Each structure stands twice: as C-alpha cells, then as structure tokens.
Amino acid sequence: MNLQNHTTELVSQFLEGSPKQIVIAYSGGVDSHLLLVTVAELVSIYPAHHYLAVHVNHGLSPNADQWQKHCQQVCDELNIQFKAQQVKVDASANGGLEAAARKVRYQALEAMTEHHGVILLGQHVQDQLETILLQLKRGAGPKGLSAMAQSTVNENSITLARPFLELEKQDIVQLAQQKGLQWIEDESNQDTRFDRNFLRSQIIPPLLGRWPNLASAANRSAQLCAEQQQLLDEVNAKHLQAMVNQRFAIHIGKLQRLSEAWQNQIVRFWLAEQKVEMPSQTVLGELPKLLGAKPDGNPIIDIGLYQLRRFREHLYCIKKRKPELDVKLTLTASNTRLPNDLGHLHIDEKYIDQLLIGSRANNLKFKPLGSPHSKLLKQWFKQWDVPVWERERSLMLFWQDKVIAVLCEQHIIFASEIPCELRTMLHFRPNPPQL
C-alpha cells in the first residue's frame, strides 16, 4: 500500500459510523495540515458528519495572529468550517510552560467538541518516542510509559484519536511536500530550553541514526505497557469495589490485608478514578503512617488541591476547602446559596428575614428531633460519625434566637424545638460530596 492510501485508511477508520462532530486540531504545522487535508479529501465519502477545524491561539509568539489568519485561509480554501480559540497560558503552573500550554489546548479543544464527537490529533511516532522519554525522565511506571493511545474516550464521551501515531515524521513531510502544502514553522520549536525541543533536536536524531526503528519499537513497548496497565486496572477495580463505602472511601483494614505494593496500586487507581493528580513516590511513602494512625487521629497527606485523610476506619480523598469561621447570614430570599459550599436552602416567603445562618458552636447543647436527650454538638457529631473536615464546615440555623437545625455536608438535622410548620417549609439541597 502506498503512503497516500495508507494515510487515507488511517484517518478513515475514525470517520466510520453514525453522524457525529469531527474536530480537527489544526495548529498549522505540517502534521495537522496533512491531517486536515486528508479529512477534507474524505468529506465527500463521509458527508453526514459535522466537520470543524479548531485552531488554539496560545498568544505566545509574535506571529500567533498571523498563523491564525493562515489557518483560516487554508480552511476557507478547503471548505472546512474554522474556529479559533484564544487561550491564556499560566507559565508558573506545575510542569512549566509546555505542560500548561498543552493543558489549556486540550481544554479548548474539548470545550468546542460535542458529546460523542471525535477530536483528531496529528501526533506521530516520533512524538510518541518523545513522550516515552519524558515519562522515563519522570520515573513513570507502566501507566505513564503507555504514553499516548491511538484512541481514547474521555468522561464526556469524546474520542481523542491520533490517526498518524504509526507514521514516521519523514513520511508526513514527504506526503505534505507531494501535495504542495504550505505549513507553519513555529520558531519556538528551536528553543531547547523546552524539554520536547531538546529531545527532538539534540537526543532523538543520534538515537535514530544508530537505531532507525527505535521510534516504532518504543511505540510497541508503549502498547504493551498499556495492555499490562489495563489488566492491572481490572484487578484494581475488583479489589477497590470490595473495600469502598458509599462515599467512595477505602476501608483501611481491608486495604492493609494486601501487600504494600498492592496498597499503592489500589490507592493510585482510586485517585485516578476521582481525577486526582498522581502523587509522587515520596508522597505515597507517607501512606503507611496514615493507615497506621490511631482511629481517632487526624493525619493528613497533601496532594496538590486534595488531601488524603483518615476518619475512623476509612481513608478519604477530599478537596481542600477553607471553611468560613465567622458566618452570620440573615436569609433574605426564598433560595439562599449557603456558605462553605454546602448547597442551597429553600424557605417559604413567610420566613424571609426571620432565619439566620451561623457558624457551628461545638459547645452548644443540641437536642435533635425525636431524641429524648440533649448533648453538646461535638458529642452528636461523634455519634453521627461526621468526619472532622465536615464538622468544620457545618452551619447552624437560628429562628427567634433558637437553634432549630444543623446543616452538615449532606444532611439537615432538625432540633426538637422547631415548629412543625416551619420544618415543612425548609428544604435543604446539598451539593454533591467532593471527595
């Protein structure tokens, strides 16, 4: 099969099936330009799809606006709908400028793609080799060394497809030249301060000079790592299903019955299921201390925007949130968004301006509806098994200077003093728990 036919076949496989949106990630470089032209050549064969070329303008080059105009012109000539999305890149973010630009680029592409749509990306086998080498630099395991998959489906049912992942860069350039394409050359690609550019210009050429098939071999290794990770995740899922509660917290006793290596595997899988950034090996090294702490202890492991915390016999992953410690809010509307991200409280108009939301008071005595006893609020929290971080965010509802309810993350607990009519006119709609 010649190169033209092979390239067409690679792209065609992602255009089969029912009508859907096909988004081409079009930077203007040779890879994405050839991808765009190949799609345009197939539109008449697959006319039912909605085709859209998206150019993400990072604004990092003085030529960025000129590149955008070039991409617009090419799409007009090919009769492909074009949209440009300008983004801001935070160079101070973790991972540096490269990682930040990649993150916002993918976010922009996904934001412009419909559910069940397909995003076509132009990465090739040398890009795969760069990714694998970067993962080696980071000390990645099988999941990281799986690098880029030819096709993945994200949580929004959007397919991210890389039709050219088996192609060599030289094949892409050769075919683009045969077609007489004019593409953009990003001057930043020569800046070896960026890791990928350093690998691309200084490291990979001599490697390929000695081992011409290295990129293809590395791609096969990535596929094998992906297969192994898939098998491992199947086992992880079975283990995890048997040890989590309704809040997706892990039962520590069940976890500790496994070897330390399996504990680390399951915790990584558990975090990935919650879209939490993977902790370093150093952070995971703190896990035995947390698991071995006393049940009434309050150890914490920080993972970026999240925390691993223990409460009783369970391990939780929670998002860091600082509670307001001095809340005093009169309810002046029938629907009020509560402080501390607890949710919304709906009241009858009759009670507008009569109810007050305040911070918790652990030393205040409280008698729940239906209970014959009055206790300190902190004693009730213990009896109700409310985790420490949820106690910190809980609020109290006052009426005529009396506490008539306690609002926790997922519950409203009425006091025995609350009038029946008022209780029926209060509706608490909590936010989904963020674990």
Structural domains in the chain, sorted by start: 3-215 (3.40.50.620), 242-319 (1.20.59.20), 328-430 (no CATH)
Question: What SS3 class is residue 182?
Answer: coil
Rounded CA separation 323/344 (Å): 16
Rounded CA separation 336/349 (Å): 12
C-alpha pair distances (Å), 241 with each of 271, 315, 430: 14, 14, 26
Rounded CA separation 33/35 (Å): 5
- The predicted pLDDT at position 37 comes to 97
At residue 86, φ and ψ (nearest 5 deg) are -85, 135
Residue pair 85/108 in contact by the 8 Å Cβ criterion? yes
Question: What SS3 class is residue 395?
Answer: strand
Concatenated DSSP letters of 311-360: ETTEEEEEE--PPPSS-EEE--SSEEEPGGG-EEEEE-GGGTTTEEEEE-
At residue 251, φ and ψ (nearest 5 deg) are -75, 115
- The predicted pLDDT at position 13 comes to 96
- The predicted pLDDT at position 188 comes to 84
Range of weakest confidence among 33-37, 53-57, 88-92, 97-101: 88-92
Rounded CA separation 176/196 (Å): 23
% residues pLDDT > 90 (the chain): 59
Question: Which regions of 202-284 does DSSP assign to beta strands (E)?
Answer: 250-251
Q: How confident is the model at residue 159 (pLDDT cuts 50, 70, 90)?
A: very high
> Rounded to a whole number, what is the distance in angstroms from the first to the last CA of the chain?
52
- The predicted pLDDT at position 94 comes to 67
Q: Positive or negative CA dihedral for 258, 261, 262, 268?
A: positive
Vertex 190 angle, CA 186 and 194, to 5°: 100
Task: Give the tens place of pLDDT for each residue, 69-87.
Answer: 999 999 999 999 999 999 9
Q: How confident is the model at residue 93 (pLDDT cuts 50, 70, 90)?
A: low
Question: Which of 183, 173, 184 shows the shortest CA–CA distance to 7?
Answer: 173
Question: Which of 109, 102, 85 shows the shortest CA–CA distance to 22?
Answer: 109
At residue 244, φ and ψ (nearest 5 deg) are -110, 150
Mean pLDDT over 128-134 rounds to 96
Rounded CA separation 85/108 (Å): 7
The mean pLDDT of the chain is 91
Task: Give the tens place of pLDDT for each residue, 366-400.
Answer: 899 989 889 899 899 888 888 888 888 899 999 99
